[in-house]
Amino acid sequence: MPAGRVASLGLVLIWSPPRQRWAELVPIEEAADGMFAEHGITFPPGNFLDFGSTVDSVLADGDPPVGFAALGPVDGGTHLYQLAVHPAHGRRGHGSALLRAVVAKASDGVTLTTFRDVPWNAPWYVREGFEVYQPAPASGVALILEHERDAGLFELGARVAMRRRPPTGG
């Protein structure tokens, strides 16, 4: 059993790989990014490791991993920088399992930025309980969107900020 195990959801094993294994996840991201071509989106060079110290934890699905979520603190909460599942393992619940693990880990709610019109981006996150929102100017999420604009992502398609608020006590 991998160290740092977080949850076992059915046949899906979600765990926290050590930082020295994060490079193993880059081919998953690259393969998943290839799925955007059908929407006319080709990403500029780079991967989640380029976020540097802003990503402070990763959840992986399987060992060897078939998907992962890269997380970091933003605006006093948890920001989902990347969620990727290798296309060979797509549409089997891996992305949903990873997202459920992210939400469970992030008691402070979750923010993310994504493409508005790609079916497995904003529309999928809405079905998973997220909402589109306008981040406050100069907030961490607003700065992420500004960085994405500077990197040319807005030229590839409309981008939005989304959040899933933490559950209220009761």
Domains and CATH numbers, the chain: 5-164 (3.40.630.30)
Choose among 95, 91, 93, 92: nearest CA to 82: 95
Q: Are 55 and 67 in contact (CB under 8 A)?
A: no
- Give the sign of the dihedral formed by CA 18, CA 59, CA 148, CA 39: positive
Per-residue confidence (pLDDT) for residue 12, from 0 to 100? 66
pTM over 0.85: yes
Distance between CA 25 and CA 3 in Å, rounded?
A: 17
Q: Hey, which bits of the chain come out as E strands?
A: 5-9, 12-15, 57-61, 67-74, 77-85, 110-115, 131-133, 159-164
pLDDT in tens, the chain (170 residues): 344 444 444 556 899 999 999 999 999 999 999 999 999 999 888 888 887 779 999 999 999 999 999 999 999 999 999 999 999 887 788 999 999 999 999 989 999 999 999 999 999 999 999 999 999 999 999 999 999 999 999 999 999 999 999 877 64
- Joined together, the tokens standing for residue 13 give 């094993």
